[in-house]
Structure 1
Amino acid sequence: MVPQISYILAIESSCDDTACAILKDAQVLSNVVAGQEIHIQYGGVVPELASRAHQSHIVPVVDQALKKAGITKKDLTAIAFTRGPGLMGSLLVGASFAKSLALALDIPLIDVHHMHGHILAHFINEGQEVPQFPFLGVTISGGHTQIIKVTDYHKMEVIGTTQDDAIGEAFDKSGKMLGLGYPAGPQIDQLSKKGDPKKFPFPIPKAPNLNYSFSGFKTAVLYFIQREVKKNPDFVKENLHDICASIQHTLIKILFQKIEKAVKETGINTVAMGGGVSANSGIRSRLTSYNQKGWNTFVPPFAYTTDNAAMIGISGYFKYLDGYTAGMEITASPRISM
């Protein structure tokens, strides 16, 4: 029998953000994230540097989360952590810390699938309306682009996924070709607001069923820039806003073509989006526009879109309510399936 009130400490370390959150049942008491700016100079995440930074950040991040929540380690009911997917070295830091803390406190350990966390972030209790089962979960990030049929808190089926690159990678790599810093996705979003989204048409990649493909899109952007710069060395500088707007417009079109198809094929018109790219203003605007067509759409608050521990905590909370506990033999799994 679980206590009437639970305090879940959650750890997220799948990539380059070290995060810890404290949840009182489904309510977030604290949600602390330590980023790693060192990767900016490399134009992407360097796995070895990421794991080293996690080792430096995790103790102060956990300490800060506990202090912000106003509780001590002795008040904790369970420890949740990201088991995967993600970078092996980064995941191992979070998993090892979580196991050690759970063992020291003699409380349950709960492993969480990173993508489950992005989907269940919608159920963090902030007094908002939440999706009703079944619904379609759309996870979009630097490493994932998936359409998932969600039947309950633990039953999820991937019905569409990327066959190569994720939409977040398409944003970032396109931005890198334009000379933008890392991560380029948010910069493209801002620059596109002053551009013409239909100025430069880009091709729509073909992928079977509900799957995605973004590799060909990146190649098309590369060839386009090379061709135009050959004619005019200042082409990118002179047309930056229009290029960004055209890139964003095309990626949004690619994304929603398959979401529309998924709604039609499944008959489920409740769509809940999550993942770092769901912070994109164009994507959020496009999703909410479907409410006028009879859809029920949901996007989490910005704090719960990018990698964070609160989403791991809420997923762990629902597993805890079901009496689930992981054994101490469990370890990180960088390619774990849904």
Structure 2
Amino acid sequence: MTSAPVVLGVESSCDETGFGIVSDGVLLGQGLASSARQHAEFGGVVPEIAARAHLDAAVPTLQIALADAGVELGDITHVAATSGPGLATAVHVGLAAAKSIAWALDVPLYGVHHLAGHAAADTLEHGPLPDESIVLIVSGGHTSILHVRDLVRDPIVHLGDTLDDAAGEAFDKVARLLGLGYPGGPVVSKAAAGGDPRAFTFPRALMRGGDAPYMFSFSGLKTAVARTVETIERDGAAVPIADIAASFEQAVVDVLVAKALKAVREKDLQTLVIVGGVAANARLRTSAQEACDRAGIELRIPPISLCTDNGAMIAAVGDLLVRAGAEPSGLAIPADPSAVLHGAQLPLPAALSV
């Protein structure tokens, strides 16, 4: 075994149970389980179902990660876990598992912010982030533009977030409107592949000069799709699912790319990093690459396997924290389902830090 730290990462903020193992910036292996099928009939994640699925999946998924990495549990030198944000019951399960492992092995534990994990996922594919970059996080629960310097040493600056639905949430809602199923991202994209993105003119919110430059809003877009479907059905015509899906998808992508590139230009930077589950979207990846090529901006997007929630990204943050000499959070770190992003490591509450 290498003498470098071997960090186990644990992720359970939503419906994926993830364990990943990282050493010196290299992903050794991971295991991932999803309860998405169990939520499909409800059209969205049910917290109690997710928590139970995490309980069932924790041990076998950990075993998969260890086998994939070719290490034994005793080789783990540090543990990192998502301690927020996320679904309360779900976060508690993964954090409890991480605490149990850290306690049993007598190794340090780090509480990690879930969104910092998404940013760190790209380092497992493309190496260290540049000194400064703009990170666009697009997922089922979050749509944010971040100004990132050193991911674990410096404060992370929120430039903008969504005012209502996250991009992934909008995909889920439109998928339900079109009868495509759940989760919405993959099924809408599949339908959109055969459609015309110019068939319908859907709104691009907050894109005027006076609007908040880095804020997002997708609720009105979802409503516009719903009204379009209602009008077509009322007229007795067949709903052109492919064209609506493609036009909706293009509207989301146009806003995401425009605002992210605006942040890169206005901060006078050279790198855009796009992460999160929606970063797996083919239209977003293509449009962002074309726009960045025209602007002379470096685009970094992790492989699809590292876009969705996973334990590898949390292990990546833990590995960076260990190498930066950060103090462990300790076994007292609580779950914080509403954690605000200020840094990669979530602090202990004042009452526990004295």
Same fold (TM over 0.5): yes
Q: Quote the residue 1:166 is aligned against.
A: 166
CA contact (8 A) 2:19 2:65 kept: yes
Q: Quote the residue 1:303 is aligned against.
A: 305
CA offsets, 1:84-133, max 9 Å, x none?
11001000011111111111111000111110011111111x5x465412
1:291 to 285, 290, 293: 293
1-structure distance, mates of 2:128, 2:330: 32
CA RMSD between the two structures: 1.4
2-structure distance, mates of 1:232, 1:116: 48
Offset of 1:322 from its aligned partner? 2.2
The DSSP-based 3-state class of the residue aligned with 2:183 is coil
Q: Quote the residue 1:78 is aligned against.
A: 78
Count of residue correspondences: 331
Offset of 1:218 from its aligned partner? 1.0
Distance change (3 Å), C-alpha of 1:292 and 1:204 = closer
Offset of 1:262 from its aligned partner? 1.3
Q: Quote the residue 2:30 is aligned against.
A: 31
Runs (4 or more) in structure 1 with deviation over 6 Å come to: none
Q: Quote the residue 1:220 is aligned against.
A: 224
Say yes or no: does 1:230 pair with 2:234: yes
Offset of 1:281 from its aligned partner? 0.1
Say yes or no: does 1:281 pair with 2:282: yes
Offset of 1:261 from its aligned partner? 2.1
Q: Which amino acid aligns with 1:167?
A: A
**What percentage of residue pairs aligned between the two structures are identical?**
39
CA contact (8 A) 1:131 1:298 kept: no
Say yes or no: does 1:191 pair with 2:195: no
2-structure distance, mates of 1:337, 1:23: 25
Q: Quote the residue 1:50 is aligned against.
A: 50
After the TM superposition, which residues 230-249 of structure 1 pair with which residues of structure 2 at under 5 Å, given as runs?
230-234=234-238, 236=239, 239-249=240-250
Q: Quote the residue 2:8 is aligned against.
A: 9
2-structure distance, mates of 1:233, 1:112: 50
CA offsets, 1:158-216, max 9 Å, x none?
10111111011111111110001101211221221221111111112225231111111
Q: Which amino acid aligns with 1:229?
A: E
2-structure distance, mates of 1:321, 1:189: 39
CA contact (8 A) 1:131 1:270 kept: no
CA contact (8 A) 2:25 2:127 kept: no
Q: Which amino acid aligns with 1:55?
A: L
Q: Which amino acid aligns with 1:281?
A: A
CA offsets, 1:286-337, max 9 Å, x none?
1111123211111001110001111000011011112220122111111101
Q: Quote the residue 2:139 is aligned against.
A: 141
The DSSP-based 3-state class of the residue aligned with 1:148 is strand
Q: Which shows bigger deviation, 83-92 or 4-13?
A: 4-13
CA contact (8 A) 2:261 2:272 kept: no
Distance change (3 Å), C-alpha of 1:68 and 1:264 = closer
2-structure distance, mates of 1:7, 1:131: 20
Structure 2 runs not aligned, ≥5 long: 342-354
Q: Quote the residue 1:210 is aligned against.
A: 214
Offset of 1:33 from its aligned partner? 0.5
Q: Which amino acid aligns with 1:87?
A: L
Structure 1 runs not aligned, ≥5 long: none
Offset of 1:63 from its aligned partner? 1.8
Query: TM-score normalized by structure 2?
Result: 0.90
Q: Quote the residue 1:332 is aligned against.
A: 335
